[in-house]
Structure 1
Amino acid sequence: MEEKKFYTQEEVKDMLIGKKGTPERDNYERELNLFLIGEAIKRTRLDKNMTQEDLGKLIGVQKAQISRIENGKNLTLATVIKIFKALGVNARLEIEDNGYKVALC
């Protein structure tokens, strides 16, 4: 009987998307991170029993823009900070590169 090969999640990503450092993998990682930020915004908004329209009014944008943001589109650092402040949530973003860490709160 042939022995089955098991792959780690990282190995599967390497095979299907590309190895780290390739444009395809970098784009995948970037899109995933934007999606996760949007999802965090959506969950926080729902926890506060707010509609997209309510949040939009707090930061001065239309409901459609909140929808795009929650889907990981049209995200800027300034917008993310503005949203979490409007939601009354402390958020921390850490950027780390070669041992140098910057934290934005």
Structure 2
Amino acid sequence: MTTKNKELEVFTFDQIKDEFIGEIGTEKRTRYERELQLEMLGEMIRKVRLERNLTQQELGELIGVQRAQISKLENNTTNVTMETILKVFGALKAKVNFNVELLNNNEQIA
């Protein structure tokens, strides 16, 4: 039994996203990137909350919302306003920076 050495083709993550999600600038790709950013924001809120040894209930009380709202925010299952995000990070004593770039009249939030 002999085996042949086959060379595998290698793709970058961007190439994979282009192929399966859509190229940069397409509606589907833009929606994917925004959802990913919101998911990362939720993870950051959870991480900082845990570092500050706060429960979801305690964080909710600090900003005047119920625990369920904090859970939804952390799990990216709700629409959230900038005001709420700023309140959450303010309560967590975390500095918030938003970077907005206009590229070819397309919005990008980083």
Q: What secondary structure, in the 3-state scheme, does the structure 1 residue paired with 2:99 have? A: strand
- Aligned-pair distance for 1:75? 2.0
Q: Which residue of 1 aligns with 2:60?
A: 56
Distance 1:74 1:64 in 2: 13
TM-score after normalising by structure 2: 0.83
Residues 58-83 of structure 1: per-residue CA shift (max 9 Å, x gap): 11111110011111232221111111
- Aligned-pair distance for 1:40? 0.6
Instruction: Flag the structure with larger Rg.
Output: 2
TM-score after normalising by structure 1: 0.86
Specify which of 24, 34, 39 is matched with residue 35 of structure 1.
39
Matched, 1:67 2:80: no
Distance 1:70 1:29 in 2: 17
Give structure 1 stretches of 5+ with no counterpart.
Answer: 99-105
Give structure 2 stretches of 5+ with no counterpart.
Answer: 104-110
Partner letter of residue 86 of structure 1? Answer: A
Distance 2:82 2:11 in 1: 35
> Residues 1-105 of structure 1: matches in 2 within 5 Å?
1-72=5-76, 73-98=78-103
- Aligned-pair distance for 1:54? 0.4
Contact 1:34–1:75 (CA<8 Å) still a contact in 2? no
Partner letter of residue 91 of structure 1? Answer: V
**RMSD of the TM alignment (CA)?**
1.2
Residues 37-92 of structure 1: per-residue CA shift (max 9 Å, x gap): 11111100000000000000011111110011111232221111111111111121
Contact 1:39–1:71 (CA<8 Å) still a contact in 2? yes
- Aligned-pair distance for 1:3? 2.8
Q: Which runs of 4+ in 1 moved over 3 A?
A: none
More displaced 10-residue stretch of structure 1: 30-39 or 70-79: 70-79
Distance 1:93 1:10 in 2: 24
